[in-house]
Amino acid sequence: MNGTCNICGWTGEFLFPERGREGTQCANCASSSRNRAVVHALSLVVGAGLAPLCSWEPRKSFSLLESSARGSPAMMFHTAFNYYATEYDPEKIAAGTDPRAYADFQHLHYADTTFDAVIASDVFEHVRNDADGYREILRVLKEGGSLLLTVPYDHERETTIRRVDTSGTADVHLLEPEYHGGGGHTLTYRNYGRDLLILLAKTGFAVTRLVLDLPALGITPQSVFVGRKGAYAEMMFRERADTRSGATGVLFPFRAFLFYKYNLLGFVHYLRELRRS
């Protein structure tokens, strides 16, 4: 597969395409298909267009929180944003060690409305109480802020598979333990299905599932969930946005313009005509 990396701008043949979203690596910055999918979704949120991440103008007023950040995107996020790259380490969190570097998504120590965006890429299948984590993210997001979420996800599966019972203080395995990441030592609590969309909506997000398949960017078929906080998000993400090869993505300003032109202006015109009659 040949294309252009939307992180470093390199053009050429992507490596290990057989590994899907965890492969299709850039030969220059080693970013994976999943890395580029997240950056593509973020570019839609911040209005960066098709420019590679390495060329984005710094926006230090834009606060971005990410858990378990890895690779070249994290290095560039430090340059582009007011960036918090955190790891989950219970001992260091309890000790209050560097609040920008360590955090628990189930109990975030940040003030309300701190962040413009939060990235959680293949993290929440490992969060013991994911509903608590989603509520905490909503709390620390500013009005109109965005959660960009990826998880191992099967849209054909109606209901998330619970692998571990977390109702008590101790984990009770319901299925054979499954581990990902962290050298293969991070426990997987669930395998997500379509009810993830319902969970996010009930939490308070206006949620869109971006269905990405962009070979020109080395992005293999996968889903990225974008949850927006606030009434603005409710309008912008009313419908699911499928972004496929050759498409331009979710055109937020254009959708807002159309909503204004064909709904609000029409209603005002109707009221004026009603007064005249």
Label residue 71 by pLDDT band (50, 70, 90).
Answer: confident
pLDDT per residue as tens digits for the range 14-60: 999 999 999 999 999 999 999 999 999 999 999 999 899 999 999 99
pLDDT at 58: 96
SS3 state of residue 226: strand
Task: Inform me whether the pLDDT recorded for 239 exceeds 80.
Answer: no
Question: What is the spatial distance between Cα 147 and Cα 134, in angstroms, rounded to a whole number?
Answer: 9
pLDDT at 230: 86
Computed over every residue of the chain, the mean pLDDT equals 86
Task: Inform me whether the pLDDT recorded for 263 exceeds 60.
Answer: no
Q: How far is CA 205 from CA 63, 156, 197, 274, in A?
A: 19, 22, 9, 37
Non-local CB neighbours of 73 within 8 Å, separated by 6+ positions: 7, 31, 35, 38, 39, 53
Contact 32, 25 (CB under 8 A): yes
Higher pLDDT, 74 or 270: 74
pTM for this predicted structure:
0.82
Tokens of 164: 């571990």
Label residue 227 by pLDDT band (50, 70, 90).
Answer: very high
Higher pLDDT, 213 or 236: 213
Tokens of 15: 């490596």
DSSP code for 250: -
Return the CATH architecture of domain 2-246: 3-Layer(aba) Sandwich (3.40)
pLDDT at 151: 97
Give residue 113's Cα distance to chain centre: 17
Task: Inform me whether the pLDDT recorded for 205 exceeds 90.
Answer: yes
Label residue 233 by pLDDT band (50, 70, 90).
Answer: very low
**Among the listed residues 130, 82, 78, 83, the one whose alpha carbon sits nearest the alpha carbon of residue 104:** 130
Task: Inform me whether the pLDDT recorded for 271 exceeds 50.
Answer: no
Average pLDDT over residues 212-233: 90
- Domains of the chain: which residue ranges? 2-246, 251-277
**Among the listed residues 254, 257, 137, the one whose alpha carbon sits nearest the alpha carbon of residue 199:** 137
Question: What is the spatial distance between Cα 23 and Cα 157, in angstroms, rounded to a whole number?
Answer: 24
Q: Which of 73-82, 134-143, 170-179, 250-259 has the lowest mean pLDDT?
A: 250-259
Higher pLDDT, 205 or 231: 205
Task: Inform me whether the pLDDT recorded for 249 exceeds 80.
Answer: no
Contact 29, 72 (CB under 8 A): yes
Task: Inform me whether the pLDDT recorded for 145 exceeds 60.
Answer: yes
Task: Inform me whether the pLDDT recorded for 247 exceeds 90.
Answer: no
pLDDT at 182: 61
Higher pLDDT, 182 or 100: 100
Contact 176, 145 (CB under 8 A): no
Q: Which of 133-137, 156-160, 232-236 has the lowest mean pLDDT?
A: 232-236
Contact 38, 32 (CB under 8 A): no
Task: Inform me whether the pLDDT recorded for 197 exceeds 50.
Answer: yes
